[in-house]
């Protein structure tokens, strides 16, 4: 029996992990891909990116209307690619005398590639080496500066700039019309906080330079946060700048919106200096001279409107706060302000009348004012003769309210102040200018028309309820006087200083006092009653009822001539006459006392008030006094008691007429 044949061995089954040999066709495609990749890499490695200079330059010129020139162009490809350009120049506006607006040794721009596919341009960082940029205002008022070269946008930008680094940059701002030329160096600083040290946060920019602002030399230093979107008008640009122009010092901290346009500010602004008048050539704000000052507040700008809000500080020895608005872009800029002082040192207002503040111990004044005060002290005159600046009075309009709740004036019993200043086309009005004085008030209005070569001034003032006792700084003397003083002043004149205005003024001056009382010591001293004066000086004083007192002067060409002058008490009546020259600052008044009682040892004689405003003299009429003494001596040679008879007054004086307008 034959055995069955064994089955043939089966072919081995192919493993699922074994690679299959590519087909001849696949091998050809793979070779092509490898070749293309190698070619691309070789092309990139050997490609001259300068081929793109022409298209880029033409695109920029079509977009901006300005020529762009690139010396050398190179690109490092990657997920974040770097575009590198050397020797770049960008043309200036056609009206400028300088052909180039900006140039740089090198510009490097990092660009994220994948966001480009979504239409988003993300620039992690831009690096500038030795950039030099000129920002220049147009030569004609109202036209845009050279930085305005891009078409208007809708505010939505696909460009995102994350950081800016500058190495040894220079920036110049030129405004020929405004006589301004600012040149500063700009460079990137080191981050100062942990938050700033993040890789995606740009370092601050540091600036330092100098130049001229409105023709005045100044220096500038400080820093800014690096802008994330320089041309985005909605993006804030933070700054901290410290500037000095002469003695004026300003520190600004805050944000600018669209720093290229310089039209919107929001800054904490500290301002200090030796004289507020120094702001006129810098800012065009006409302010009278002042003592040294220091103010701090919020400075905001919205195009043509500047605001200094909630500022506080000191001017001289006075505190000052409030809100101020300055509007430009008009025929004349306009200042609007509301000011308040809790304590006003009265001599700090001296600049309003062309005089320096006090310079004694504890007083604040600058070096120039101290020199001026020394000249005033050496001068024989009192009225300020410093002329007003007509250009300032015509340079702007103003509407300013100023209230002072308490006034420090050691030589004057002033309480408070309420002033409203209006300036319109060269015509200044103080309406009102009110002071609280010795329990009463002085209410006045002043109009100064500076439209002509000589200022025409009109002053109207009324005095109401000023208490006689409070006029004396000495408490003992104040106890000896009581009564209310009232009056009217109506003067007009021409001149460019206070001295000239009053020296040529005409009008009326009248002052009166109704019923009250005065110390007998004061009256007897005025009449040189030796017995009564010595008695009341050492043993006390009694009060004498005052029926009335009045002084009425007519004024013509600066000469005040008395029309009626009298002080009437139950004890004595004093009748006066004479003149006061506002032009020469001299007085010539004669007071004639007439007692209403009988007193021994009385050597009464007319009292003459003369001399100058600065050095007045009070002296009796020695001729009459000497005659009376001679009679006494003659009688005394006969019988001593008879000598006393020559000094006895019979009281011939009569009551003064207290009726009419002074009886109220």
DSSP letters spanning 70-110: EEEEEEE-SSEEEEEEEEEEEE--TT-SSSEEEEEEEEEEE
Sign of the alpha-carbon dihedral angle for 14, 20, 23, 24: negative
| DSSP class per residue in 270-330 | EEEES-GGGHHHHH-------S-EEEEEEEEEETTEEEEEEEEEEETTEEEEEEEEEE-SS
The pLDDT tens digits for 375-391 are: 888 888 889 999 999 99
| DSSP class per residue in 182-211 | EEEEEEE----STGGGSTTSPPPEEEEEEE
- Return the SS3 of 61: helix
**In the predicted model, is pLDDT for residue 273 greater than 90?**
yes
pLDDT band at 640 (very low <50, low <70, confident <90, very high): very low
Using CA atoms, how far residue 605 sits from 480, 523, 564, 567, 590, in Å, is: 23, 13, 20, 16, 10
pLDDT band at 145 (very low <50, low <70, confident <90, very high): confident
Output the CA angle 363-291-239, nearest 5 degrees.
125
pLDDT band at 21 (very low <50, low <70, confident <90, very high): low
Q: What is the pLDDT of residue 356?
A: 82
**In the predicted model, is pLDDT for residue 61 greater than 50?**
yes
Lowest model confidence (mean pLDDT) among 409-418, 442-451, 618-627: 618-627
| HSE toward the beta carbon, residue 535, CA cutoff 13 A | 13
What value does the mean pLDDT take over residues 180-186? 91
Distance CA 69, CA 56 (A): 9
What value does the mean pLDDT take over residues 230-250? 76
Share of the chain above pLDDT 90, in %: 34
What value does the mean pLDDT take over residues 157-163? 67
What value does the mean pLDDT take over residues 387-415? 90
pLDDT band at 604 (very low <50, low <70, confident <90, very high): low
Share of the chain above pLDDT 70, in %: 72
Sign of the alpha-carbon dihedral angle for 112, 116, 122, 126: positive
- Containing H/E element for 58? helix 53-64
Q: What is the pLDDT of residue 559?
A: 96
Distance CA 66, CA 345 (A): 59
**In the predicted model, is pLDDT for residue 659 greater than 70?**
no
**In the predicted model, is pLDDT for residue 508 greater than 60?**
yes
What rounded mean pLDDT belongs to the chain?
79
Distance CA 103, CA 87 (A): 7
What value does the mean pLDDT take over residues 119-123? 82
**In the predicted model, is pLDDT for residue 9 greater than 70?**
no
Q: Which two tokens stand for residue 663?
A: 């009886």
Q: What is the pLDDT of residue 219?
A: 93
Q: What is the pLDDT of residue 576?
A: 84
More confident residue, 544 or 207: 207
**In the predicted model, is pLDDT for residue 458 greater than 90?**
yes
Best mean pLDDT range from 187-196, 439-448, 621-630: 439-448
Instruction: Scan for tokens 């608005």, then name that residue.
Output: 325
Helix ranges, 312-469 (H) = 367-378, 390-395
Lowest model confidence (mean pLDDT) among 38-52, 220-234, 283-297, 573-587: 220-234
pTM of the model: 0.75
Q: What is the pLDDT of residue 599?
A: 58
pLDDT band at 29 (very low <50, low <70, confident <90, very high): low
Q: CB–CB of 221/241 below 8 Å?
A: yes
Q: What is the pLDDT of residue 105?
A: 96
Q: What is the pLDDT of residue 196?
A: 43
Does a cis peptide bond (omega within 30 degrees of 0) precede residue 590?
Answer: no
Structure-derived torsion over alpha carbons of residues 539, 540, 545, 546, reported in degrees to the nearest 10: 100
Using CA atoms, how far residue 580 sits from 190, 291, 555, 610, in Å, is: 73, 33, 9, 9
pLDDT band at 352 (very low <50, low <70, confident <90, very high): confident
Distance CA 270, CA 252 (A): 7
Q: What is the pLDDT of residue 414?
A: 87
**In the predicted model, is pLDDT for residue 162 greater than 60?**
yes
**In the predicted model, is pLDDT for residue 634 greater than 50?**
no
* Residue 212, number of CB atoms within 10 A of its CB: 16
Output the CA angle 259-260-264, nearest 5 degrees.
45
pLDDT band at 636 (very low <50, low <70, confident <90, very high): very low
Q: What is the pLDDT of residue 418?
A: 95
What value does the mean pLDDT take over residues 502-512? 91
Q: What is the pLDDT of residue 224?
A: 79
The pLDDT tens digits for 473-498 are: 665 656 667 777 888 899 999 999 99
Q: Which two tokens stand for residue 621?
A: 């009429």
**In the predicted model, is pLDDT for residue 593 greater than 60?**
yes
**In the predicted model, is pLDDT for residue 452 greater than 60?**
yes
Q: What is the pLDDT of residue 204?
A: 79
Q: What is the pLDDT of residue 413?
A: 83
DSSP 8-state secondary structure symbol assigned to residue 352: G
């Amino acid at each position: 029996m034959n055995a069955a044949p064994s089955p043939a061995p089966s072919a081995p089954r192919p493993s699922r992990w074994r690679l299959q040999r590519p087909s001849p066709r696949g091998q050809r495609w793979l070779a092509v891909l490898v070749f293309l990749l190698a070619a691309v890499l070789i092309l990139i490695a050997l490609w001259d990116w300068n081929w793109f200079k022409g298209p880029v330059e033409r695109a920029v010129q079509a977009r901006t209307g300005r020529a762009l020139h690139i010396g050398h162009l190179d690109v490092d490809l990657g997920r974040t690619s770097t575009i590198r350009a050397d020797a770049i120049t960008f043309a200036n506006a056609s009206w400028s005398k300088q052909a180039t607006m900006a140039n740089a040794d090198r510009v490097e721009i990092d660009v994220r590639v994948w966001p480009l596919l979504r239409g988003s341009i993300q620039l992690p960082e831009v690096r500038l080496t030795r950039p030099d940029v000129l920002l220049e205002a147009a030569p004609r008022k109202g036209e845009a500066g050279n930085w305005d070269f891009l078409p208007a946008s809708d505010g939505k930008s696909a460009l995102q700039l994350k950081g800016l680094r500058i190495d040894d940059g220079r920036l110049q701002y030129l405004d020929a019309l405004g006589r301004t030329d600012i040149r500063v160096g700009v460079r990137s600083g080191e981050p100062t906080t942990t938050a700033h040290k993040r890789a995606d946060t740009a370092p601050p920019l540091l600036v330092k330079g100098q130049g001229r602002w409105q023709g005045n030399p100044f220096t500038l230093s400080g820093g800014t946060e690096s802008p994330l979107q320089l041309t985005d008008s909605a993006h804030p640009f933070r700054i901290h700048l410290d500037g000095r122009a002469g003695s004026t010092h300003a520190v600004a901290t805050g944000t600018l919106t669209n720093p290229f346009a310089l039209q919107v500010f929001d800054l904490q602004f500290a301002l200090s200096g030796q004289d507020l008048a120094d702001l006129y050539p810098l800012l065009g704000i006409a302010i009278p001279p002042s003592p040294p000052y220091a103010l701090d507040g919020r400075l905001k700008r919205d195009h043509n409107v500047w605001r200094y809000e909630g500022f506080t500080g000191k001017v001289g020895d006075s505190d000052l706060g409030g809100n101020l608005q300055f509007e430009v872009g008009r025929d004349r800029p306009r200042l609007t302000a509301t000011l308040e002082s809790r304590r006003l040192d009265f001599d700090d207002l001296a600049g309003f009348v062309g005089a320096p503040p006090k310079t004694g111990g504890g007083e604040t004044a600058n070096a120039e004012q101290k020199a001026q005060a020394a000249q005033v002290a050496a001068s024989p005159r009192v009225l300020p003769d410093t002329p007003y600046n007509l250009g300032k009075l015509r340079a702007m309009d103003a509407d300013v309210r100023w209230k002072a709740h308490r006034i420090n004036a050691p030589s004057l019993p002033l309480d408070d102040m309420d002033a409203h200043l209006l300036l319109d086309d060269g015509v200044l009005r103080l309406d009102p200018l009110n002071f609280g004085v010795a329990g009463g008030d002085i209410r006045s209005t002043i109009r100064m028309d500076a439209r002509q070569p000589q200022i025409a001034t009109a002053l109207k003032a009324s005095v109401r309820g000023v208490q006689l006792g409070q006029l004396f700084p000495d408490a003992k003397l104040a106890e000896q006087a009581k009564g209310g003083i009232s009056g009217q002043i109506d003067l007009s004149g021409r001149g460019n200083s206070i001295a000239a205005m009053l020296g040529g003024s005409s009008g009326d001056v009248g002052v009166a006092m109704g019923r009250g009382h005065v110390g007998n010591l004061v009256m007897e001293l005025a009449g040189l009653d030796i017995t009564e004066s010595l008695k009341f000086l050492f043993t006390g004083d009694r009060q004498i009822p005052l029926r009335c007192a009045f002084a009425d002067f007519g004024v013509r060409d600066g000469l005040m001539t008395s029309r009626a002058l009298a002080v009437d008490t139950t004890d004595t009546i004093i009748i006066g006459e004479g003149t006061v020259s506002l032009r020469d600052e001299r007085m010539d008044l004669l007071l004639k006392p007439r007692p209403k009682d009988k007193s021994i040892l009385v050597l009464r004689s007319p009292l003459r008030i003369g001399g100058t405003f600065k050095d007045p003299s009070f002296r009796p009429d020695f001729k009459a006094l000497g005659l009376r003494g001679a009679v006494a001596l003659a009688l005394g040679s006969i019988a001593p008691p008879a000598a006393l008879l020559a000094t006895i007054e019979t009281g011939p004086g009569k009551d003064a007429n207290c009726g009419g307008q002074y009886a109220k």
